[in-house]
Amino acid sequence: MADGGINLNDFDLAKLNESDKAELRQFFANEGQKARIQTTVHNLTDMCFRKCVTGTVRSGKLDKSEEGCMANCADRFIDVSQLTVKHLQNLRQS
């Protein structure tokens, strides 16, 4: 990589021992999970902002009604997400 970062093509992954391979797999799984969480937060922010901020933005702060709407929107999104996960877990156990 030209930016000085690590490029996996520079490594022979076959030379890693099983412990290192497991650690690398866990690292990639964690990074993937972080990316999914970041995407969810981005989508939530975008959805709630579009719903709650309907007028022009006059300052760097939300007005009281927009602030309440954003909090309620985020809370409902989290509630639905938790219910969905619980339902899927119940289906898996059935």
Q: Look at residue 1 in the predicted model and tell me its pLDDT.
A: 41
Query: What is the tally of structural domains in the chain?
Result: 1
Give the pLDDT confidence score for residue 8 in this predicted structure: 62
CA distance 42 to 4: 28
pLDDT tens track for 45-93: 999 999 999 888 888 888 899 999 999 999 999 999 999 999 999 999 9
Q: Which burial class, exposed, middle or buried, applies to 19 when counting CB atoms under 10 A from its CB (0-12, 13-18, 19+)?
A: exposed
Rg of the Cα trace of the chain? 21
Query: Quick check: is 9 in a domain?
Result: no
The pTM is what? Answer: 0.63
Domain span holding position 81: 14-93
| 24-45 exposure pattern, b = at least 16 Cβ within 10 A, e = fewer | eeeeeeeeeeeeeeeeeeeebe
User: Is there a domain that residue 3 lies in?
Assistant: no
